[in-house]
Structure 1
């Protein structure tokens, strides 16, 4: 039953999605199908890949963050994750994300 929604606990910081509330620390509670969870995990994997590929920026402190197009993909993906969590989240999750101003309008990065 892939369309049955279940409760999951998500940590954006750790990039984790758990079924058991006590497994580890989490920031958000969502109600999602298995397909939703697979999609969200794919986004976390992409975010991790983008983070790793932009690690070299740390040795180039002369390049301001807001002028570094290599990090645009990371920012876009992170915002995309927060939008997905907002859509799947319970009321507390939605209020928290709305209060973070993390899902404002954003254009996809130019590649």
Structure 2
């Protein structure tokens, strides 16, 4: 398998990872080998699944956000996506993510899949 790192454009909002810049898919620029890109795609799938669960949970009245497993799962997957993008990112991507308020929480997120 070709393990050479290639340039990709990433949009967390759309869940897009592309070798081609198109539209607004360039929120972040990363460099990854095929295995790393597959792992990031899987993280995006996990995030989308967690997002769906929070939408369903939102229909339950009087359930507090801070006491909610579905929201905890979404937050965890959200942070895991950003951590991996940071790890694979170019210098501008790394610097941008390091300004985000949750960056200092990355050490609490495991790199294991």
TM-score range, shorter chain: 0.7 to 0.9
2:10 paired with 1:10: yes
Report if the CA contact (8 A) 1:76-1:106 is conserved. no
Q: How does 1:85-96 map to 2 (within 5 A)?
A: 85-96=85-96
Task: Map Cα deviations across residues 60-79 of structure 1 (whole Å, 9 max, x no partner).
Answer: 34222122122111111110
Secondary structure of the corresponding residue to residue 7 of structure 1: strand
Alignment match, 1:82:
82
Alignment match, 1:71:
71
The root-mean-square deviation of aligned C-alpha atoms, in Å, is 1.7
Corresponding residue pairs, total:
107
Alignment match, 1:59:
59
**How far apart in 2 are the matches of 1:24 and 1:44?**
19
Q: How far off is 1:57 after superposition?
A: 2.0
Instruction: Could you tell me which runs of 5 or more consecutive residues in structure 2 were left unpaired when the two chains were aligned.
Output: none
Report if the CA contact (8 A) 1:31-1:90 is conserved. yes
Alignment match, 1:38:
38
Report if the CA contact (8 A) 2:79-2:109 is conserved. no
Report if the CA contact (8 A) 1:2-1:35 is conserved. no
Secondary structure of the corresponding residue to residue 17 of structure 2: strand
* TM-score (ref. length: structure 1): 0.86
**How far apart in 2 are the matches of 1:50 and 1:75?**
9
Residues 83 and 107 (structure 1), Cα distance of their counterparts in 2 relative to 1, 3 Å cut? closer
2:18 paired with 1:27: no
Report if the CA contact (8 A) 2:7-2:19 is conserved. yes
Runs of 4+ more than 6 Å apart: none
